[in-house]
A = this chain, B = another copy of it.
């Protein structure tokens, strides 16, 4: 029963509501996570996700976006709610429910000064230190979600620059799925979707020959989704 419906006869406690952001990036073939080092007590020196309390007049999703923008200077970032974490004793200080959100950002876009000012650091996922409270659990859950979701929704592209090469895209999917993919089959599959626009430019940063750049065709994707299309990658 929703609050308004039975506020007269029910135990009604108020608590803090926070939101924490699991911020993924991708660089040099590795998935990375943006975490923060505490510079004040309590928990000084421990690593933590970035987060904030949700304010009285603020949507939970808006609170998460506010935090992300404060920290990275970025707007229009892909962000989605993961789930709420509501163990009564999850925060030793006081009762607080946290709603975790995961964000995918293009790692070279973000404002470097801004993040450094906040004590931020990019960790490779495999080298992630222990995080405060239940934040490590949040990361694990977010990773599982990303792994599953990447299969049926083109969210991987949120982690790449707007223009990317097929080998880059493949290495991203390899990082997400944590396994090697066959390059010929990967290319074939991706091309057959008809959702990549080949550009007349090459990226020469990783080979003498250079690889053609592509863009993801969001317009066509939207159209296909509307007509009931269901896509899968790898």
Contacts and interface: CB of A to CB of B under 8 A. Distances in A.
Interface of A: 1-8, 10-18, 20, 36, 38, 40, 42-43, 48-62, 67, 81, 83-84, 86-88, 91-99, 132-133, 135
Given A14-B15, A99-B84, A50 B1 contact: yes
Contact of A58 (B43, B50, B88): B88
Contacts of A58: 88
The complex is assembled from copies of this chain, and their number is: 2
Nearest to A9: B40
Q: 7 tightest CB-CB pairs across the interface, nearest first?
A: A60-B86, A4-B93, A14-B14, A84-B84, A13-B56, A3-B96, A1-B51
A98 B1 CA distance: 10
Contact of A84 (B5, B13, B81, B133): B81
A34 to B, nearest CB: 13
Contact of A16 (B12, B38, B86, B93): B12
Given A2-B96, A3-B16, A4-B133, 13 more contacts: A1-B48, A1-B67, A2-B20, A2-B49, A2-B51, A2-B91, A3-B53, A11-B55, A12-B53, A15-B17, A17-B17, A17-B97, A60-B84
B52 A1 contact: yes
A48 B56 CA distance: 25
A95 to B, nearest CB: 6
A42 B84 contact: no
A86 B57 contact: no
Contacts of A3: 16, 18, 53, 91, 93-94, 96, 98
Contacts of A135: 2
B5 A43 contact: yes
Contacts of A86: 17, 54, 59-61, 99
Given A2-B132, A15-B14, A7 B55 contact: no
Contacts of A83: 81, 83-84
